[in-house]
Every structure is written in structure tokens, then in C-alpha cells.
């Protein structure tokens, strides 16, 4: 029985890639091992291509749907095929690889690790992660076979995604180093970054036989160390803005906060013996803050409304307590 099955295979009439899996990009035709004997027709379907390999070299390439009559059609590789299409064992092995010519749409990408670069504005190291989507197409099957497939019998969409993730880090790092975008500018410039990266990736993947299209960045995030630095910058910026609003410089604001924290620390030195001194220091600092505000705005020196407004801003900035605010407010109202 096995003899007749083998004999039947030798007289096989058609070679074709029937119903390929959706995730299969490149696949060796293995209906009868890697031997091509007495097949009479080669059918290449819509969205498919075919490469003929003989003795490890690409001998012919079909990129359009067609049906080739291996016995009569005048195609470049017929002579070679006929030489190896013996009745039983072929003297030399040949291979046919089918591949998809259609575009692979809406593929996801993401950086496998944080991309490191120095923020050009704040001069600290940034760790950036990014993700997005893209489409691609096998544009040069010969280069793809030589540089990617090698001895593999198949190549999947997931295999390409692994290559994409590994090769995207370097182009992004180079672009961020050259573009001088601060971390605060990354999100609003995602389209520009995506377009620039698309061009860089084109040259990288062209060598592998692919064309990248519709590349975009959907989102970004920072690693934990970068977030700590960003949060610290945000806190300092907010404190400096609060100091500006109430007419102080940032250094004076820090002194007031240090005195306030010491006065509230019941278990520390302030609670043991410095409570009164710290309270007096806080009062003197408050007076100095009012003095600074008055010096900056002499025309408002006797204006009780201005004093009350400044006092309100100080309690909102938590530079004084509500009790201290009420007491000072009462003193100002008593001057009417």
C-alpha cells in the first residue's frame, strides 16, 4: 500500500498553497518533503508569491497570482525543474517557499525595555517606554529569504513582531538624542516622532525585505526613577509659584516651611525646648514676609484689604495655620 501511495505522489499534478494560516508569512511547501518530481502545474493564489530554491539558491520568483504549466510554459526555472523531476529519487533537492504579498495591518509594537536618554532641559537621565501600531509588507522576498529565513521552514507574524521590538530601541534612542525634546514635550510631539521613526525604520527593514507603513506612537510612559524626578520638579515648581504669588522668593519660602515643620514636631527638638523659639521665629518670618510684600508694593502698605489678601494666600499655601490666620486677621480688622 505504501508503495502505491508513494507512486501516486510521484504523479502529483498540482503544487499550491491552500488555505494558509492567517499568522503565516512564509512557508516551505512540504506536501512531499522537499522533492519536486512529476508535478505538472504550479498555482500561486491571490495575495501570494512563490520562491523556487535549488541547491540553497533562489532561482526564480513569482509575485503575482498565476498558474504555471511546468511541462510546457516558458518560465526561467523550467529547465532546472525538469532536470530534478525524475520518477523516484531526485538527484538534487529543490524547495518551493510560498509567502504572503498582501499587507499585514494593525500590528502592535512596544519597547521591551526603557529607552534611556538625557533630558536636554533638566539634564537628568530619562527612561521612556512607548507603544503603538504599524502595518508592513514583504517587499523583497529574495532579501527576506536570504537574511531572515535561512534554514527555517516557516516564519510567523509573531516572529516578525520579535524582530520589530528588538530593532526599534536603537532608532528611537538616536532620534530622542538628536531631537532635543524634553520629557514634557514627548506627548504633544508624538506624531512628529512617529513620522521620523518611520523613516528610520524603513531603512532598517528594507535590508530584511520588508516595508513598514502606517507607523504611529499611541502612548508613552516613564520608568519609576524618572517619575520620581518628574514629581520632584513638579513639587518645586509649585512651591516656587506659591512663593511668587505671596511676594516671597523660593529660599524664604523654604525657611518658613522648615520653621513650621519644626514647630509642629512635638516629638523632636521643637517639642523639647524649641517650640517657643520656633513659634517666635515663625512670627518674625511672617512679619518679614509682610514687610517684603509691602516693600515690593509701597502703595499698599496701609491697605488693610491687601494685607488680608496676602494673609489668605499664606494660609492657602499652608505657610500659617488657620488659627494663626484668624488671630492675625482679627488684629488687622481691629485697626479700622
**pLDDT < 70 stretches in the chain:** 1-13, 31-40, 70-94, 242-243, 245-304, 317, 319, 334-336
pLDDT at 254: 63
The beta strands (E) that lie in 139-270 are given as: 154-156, 210-222
pLDDT at 100: 95
Please list, in sequence order, all residues whose beta carbon lies within 8 angstroms of the beta carbon of residue 77, skipping any fewer than 6 positions away: 52, 54, 59, 60
- Name all contacts of 59-67 with Cβ < 8 Å and 24+ positions apart: 61/141, 61/142, 63/101, 63/141, 67/41, 67/42, 67/43
Q: Taking the model in full, what pTM does it have?
A: 0.61
CA torsion, points 228, 234, 239, 240, in degrees to nearest 10?
120
pLDDT at 23: 92
Q: Are 128 and 186 in contact (CB under 8 A)?
A: yes
Q: What is the pLDDT of residues 192-228, one digit of tens each?
A: 999 988 888 888 888 889 999 889 999 999 999 999 9
CA angle, 173 then 177 then 183, to 5°: 90
CA torsion, points 204, 208, 210, 215, in degrees to nearest 10?
-30
CB-count burial class (<10 Å; 0-12, 13-18, 19+) for 48: buried
pLDDT at 140: 93
Q: What is the pLDDT of residues 92-140, one digit of tens each?
A: 456 789 999 999 999 999 888 888 889 998 889 999 999 999 999 999 9
Amino acid at each position: 500500500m505504501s508503495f502505491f501511495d508513494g507512486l501516486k505522489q510521484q504523479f502529483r499534478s498540482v503544487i499550491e498553497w491552500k488555505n494558509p494560516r492567517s499568522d503565516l508569512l512564509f512557508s516551505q511547501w512540504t506536501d512531499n518533503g522537499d522533492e519536486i518530481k512529476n508535478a505538472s502545474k504550479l498555482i500561486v493564489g491571490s495575495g501570494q508569491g512563490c520562491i523556487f530554491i535549488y541547491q540553497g539558491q533562489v532561482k526564480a520568483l513569482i509575485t503575482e497570482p498565476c498558474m504555471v504549466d511546468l511541462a510546457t510554459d516558458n518560465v526561467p526555472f523550467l529547465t532546472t525543474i525538469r532536470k530534478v523531476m525524475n520518477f523516484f529519487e531526485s538527484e538534487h533537492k529543490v524547495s518551493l517557499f510560498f509567502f504572503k504579498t498582501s499587507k499585514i495591518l494593525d500590528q502592535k509594537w512596544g519597547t521591551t525595555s526603557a529607552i534611556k536618554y538625557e533630558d536636554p532641559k533638566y539634564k537628568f537621565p530619562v527612561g521612556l517606554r512607548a507603544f503603538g501600531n504599524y502595518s508592513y509588507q514583504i517587499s523583497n522576498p529574495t532579501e527576506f529569504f536570504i537574511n531572515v529565513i535561512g534554514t527555517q521552514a516557516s516564519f510567523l507574524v509573531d516572529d516578525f513582531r520579535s524582530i520589530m521590538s528588538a530593532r526599534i530601541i536603537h532608532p528611537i534612542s538616536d532620534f530622542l538624542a538628536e531631537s532635543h525634546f524634553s520629557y514634557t514635550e514627548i506627548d504633544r510631539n508624538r506624531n512628529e516622532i512617529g513620522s521620523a521613526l518611520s523613516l528610520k525604520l524603513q531603512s532598517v527593514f528594507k535590508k530584511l525585505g520588508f516595508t513598514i507603513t502606517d507607523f504611529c506612537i499611541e502612548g508613552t510612559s516613564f520608568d519609576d526613577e524618572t517619575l520620581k524626578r518628574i514629581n520632584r520638579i513638579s513639587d518645586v515648581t509649585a512651591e516656587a509659584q506659591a512663593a511668587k504669588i505671596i511676594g516671597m522668593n523660593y529660599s524664604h519660602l523654604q525657611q518658613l516651611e522648615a520653621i513650621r515643620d519644626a514647630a509642629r514636631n512635638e516629638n523632636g527638638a521643637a517639642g523639647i525646648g524649641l517650640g517657643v523659639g520656633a513659634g517666635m521665629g515663625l512670627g518674625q518670618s511672617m512679619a518679614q514676609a509682610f514687610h517684603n510684600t509691602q516693600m515690593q508694593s509701597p502703595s499698599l502698605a496701609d491697605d488693610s484689604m491687601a494685607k488680608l489678601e496676602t494673609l489668605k494666600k499664606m494660609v492657602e499655601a499652608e505657610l500659617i495655620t488657620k488659627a494663626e490666620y484668624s488671630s492675625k486677621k482679627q488684629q488687622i480688622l481691629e485697626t479700622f
